[in-house]
Amino acid sequence: VNDCTLCNPANEAVLWYDNRCRITEVNNNDYPGYCRVIWHAHVREMSDLSVDDRRHLYFVVETVEEALRRVVRPDKINLASLGNQVPHLHWHVIPRFANDPHFPDPIWATPHRQAVPRSFDRMTLQRELVRRLAE
Ligand SMILES: [Zn+2]
């Protein structure tokens, strides 16, 4: 029995997908625009993928980064692939601001301050992703 939460997602907000991976928006009010790129198959590490699959996954991650920079305009992008709690290959793509709750630490650290309310145009982000990944 596979009880992996990424193999069996509930209430995922999928912004884009193809036959290998998907981009989801993480529901986190403190970090608007926070996305994950999730490989569909249950593999643990990047090095479990073929070279072509690695290139594809990383291209999608870079494309999410570009789209977030354009639409959310953060001070910094954080890329992270941890998988310690869910050992199913996925990347976090996190727009960061100098006054966000955890800056300059990772978002999983102890917060330093309250979140500043922030919003972005979700439809524009999705359009950017679809346009860039169609090329
Ligand atoms: Zn899985």
pLDDT in tens, 59-87: 999 999 999 999 999 999 999 999 999 99
Calculate how far, in angstroms, residue 1's C-alpha sits from the geometric centre of ligand 1: 11
Query: What is the whole-number distance in angstroms between the Cα of residue 88 and the centre of ligand 1?
Result: 5
Per-residue CA distances from 64 to 3, 29, 71, 84 (Å): 28, 19, 10, 22
List, for residues 1-30, the tens digit of each pLDDT value.
Answer: 689 999 999 999 999 999 999 999 998 999
Q: In angstroms, what is the span from residue 4 Cα to ligand 1's centroid?
A: 5
Tell me the CA–centroid distance for residue 42 and ligand 1, in Å. 4
49 Cα: distance to centroid of ligand 1 (angstroms): 14
pLDDT bin (cut points 50, 70, 90) of residue 130 is very high
Centroid of ligand 1 to alpha carbon of 20 (angstroms): 13
What is the widest separation between alpha-carbon atoms in the chain? 43
Buried b (16+ CB within 10 A) or exposed e, 14-53: ebbeeeebbbbbeeeeebbbbbbbbbeeeeeeeeebeeeb
Mean of per-residue pLDDT scores for the chain: 96
Distance 14 CA to ligand 1 centre (A): 16
Q: What is the pLDDT of residue 2?
A: 82
Phi, psi torsion values for 17, nearest 5 degrees: -155, 155
Q: What is the pTM of this model?
A: 0.95
From the CA of 71, how far away is ligand 1's center (Å)? Answer: 30
Report pLDDT digits (tens) over 93-129.
Answer: 999 999 999 999 999 999 999 999 999 999 999 999 9
